[in-house]
Amino acid sequence: MRPGLLFLVSAGVSRRPFRSLIITLSVAILTALLASSALIDRASRAGLDRGLKRLGADLVAVPRGLDQDVARSYLSGKPSTFYMDEELEDRITGFRFVERTSAQVFIRSLTGASCCSAWNVFLIGFEPATDFTVRPWLDADSDRSVGPNQVLVGAAFDLAPGDTVRFYGQVFSVAGRLDPTGMGLDSAVFIPLESVRLMALESPGKALAPLELSPRAISAVSIRLRPEADGGLPPYRAAYELEQAVPEISVLQPDELLVKTQANLARVLAGLRAGSYAVWPLTALLAGLVFALAANERTRELGLLRAMGARRSFVFGLIFLEAMGLAAAGAVVGLGLSAASVLMFSRLIAARYEVPMATPGTVELAWVLAGAAVLAIAAGIAAALYPAARAAAQEPYEAMRRAE
């Protein structure tokens, strides 16, 4: 590429800052919309995939009719409190297609109470002896053993092993921190079931308000099924059999979390995608109009260039490169805005729309951002093609005569 052409491109951009700013901002807005919708889509898929692995159970049994409540809690981290008798776990364990079970109890910390270190937190009581869903996700710096007065905290908490927390007046030591998943469980605190029972028993004398919990109460039963080759059933069939035989329960399947997430995600992406579809042609139209006006203003300049021996391809390249440079600058700005916004508000998006959010892989992230940038730059370049071709087609004498 000739230095003279680059000089003229740079001069053309700097001499008309308002025009350049309009095109750059238009492309930046388009890029931000495209990239944001793609990033949220990929981040939610990554979060759901990681979260389902973290769930660790083939099925989750809860009191009849409350399967959507527990799904909402898993996705958003908003506490749900409901209970059933622990006798139901024994009945579930008796099915031949069930390999193992582990009970959990859901409670929430008090709000506005000094007896709780954090307010309105999802507290999950679990049984360390039978657990297969929580401890496998401890980070590398954590001890996998959990004592009676210890807790495990989700990745959203800025706590390290050895720190202390207080719930219902009971002081616990942090035994470990779980790896991030992007799901609501990142905002949960996991307490051994024995400690939950003791906390409820002692809460009338230690807490601002007592924790009312029956000694036999549980909230959910995580279920791992036998392999089908070993007499097990597929999850959908096992869920049906359990609900028919134990009418007091509803059974949540991981696929239901996928369906719920996709429905919630559709609401988030609908507005962003509608905006992208509307802004893309508007960006191309606006950029085309601006370049057409600019080419008309520079008719004499372009005619002189042609008279001095510049080829048609030189004139075409001059306008085309201006468009490419401005579109690329806008794409960079838009990508920065999009990435910053999604990262900054990811937890808010996850909580508001009940979708899991996790950072996609580096390669996938690069492809998403590159795709959004290419589409946005294409709008700017496409808009400049006609003005550039029209300006290049003019004869030198005709161009200078029209400019007079």
Extents of the domains making up the chain: 3-50+260-403, 65-247
- DSSP label of 250: E
Q: Give the whole-angstrom CA distance, residue 356 versus residue 350.
A: 6
**Under a CB-based contact definition with an 8 Å cutoff, are residues 390 and 320 in contact?**
no
Looking from the CA of 329 toward its CB, the CA atoms found within 13 Å total 14
Q: Give the whole-angstrom CA distance, residue 121 versus residue 153.
A: 11
Q: Give the whole-angstrom CA distance, residue 59 versus residue 57.
A: 5
Give the pLDDT of residue 11: 60
For 41-82, the DSSP string reads: HHHHHHHHHHHHHHH--SEEEEETT-HHHHHHHHHH------
CA distances from 11 to 15, 17, 266, 318, 401 (A): 6, 10, 45, 11, 24
The first and second tokens of residue 91, run together, are 């009945």
Strands 188-192 and 122-126: parallel
Let me know if 193 is exposed, middle or buried by CB neighbors in 10 A (0-12, 13-18, 19+).
Answer: buried
The first and second tokens of residue 239, run together, are 């869920």
Give the pLDDT of residue 146: 83
The residue type at 21: L
Residue with tokens 């838009």: 334
Give the pLDDT of residue 46: 76
The residue type at 396: P
Give the pLDDT of residue 296: 63
Give the pLDDT of residue 191: 95
Q: Would you put residue 65 in left (φ > 0), alpha (ψ -120 to 50) or beta?
A: left
**Under a CB-based contact definition with an 8 Å cutoff, are residues 77 and 99 in contact?**
no
- Phi and psi torsions of 188, nearest 5°: -100, 160
Query: Residue 251: which H helix or E strand, with range?
Result: strand 249-252
**Under a CB-based contact definition with an 8 Å cutoff, are residues 242 and 222 in contact?**
no
Q: Dihedral through CA 107, CA 110, CA 111, CA 114, nearest 10?
A: -150
The residue type at 159: L
Give the pLDDT of residue 397: 47
The first and second tokens of residue 16, run together, are 């008309």
Strands 150-153 and 170-177: parallel
Partners of 98 in the beta sheet?
Answer: 225
In the chain, which residues have pLDDT < 70? 1-15, 51-55, 139-144, 257-265, 267-268, 272, 280, 288, 291-313, 315, 317, 351, 354, 386-404
Q: Give the whole-angstrom CA distance, residue 251 versus residue 223.
A: 10
Give the pLDDT of residue 181: 74
Residue with tokens 């039978």: 130
**Under a CB-based contact definition with an 8 Å cutoff, are residues 115 and 168 in contact?**
yes
**Under a CB-based contact definition with an 8 Å cutoff, are residues 267 and 353 in contact?**
yes
Strands 220-225 and 59-63: antiparallel
Give the pLDDT of residue 187: 87
Give the pLDDT of residue 387: 67
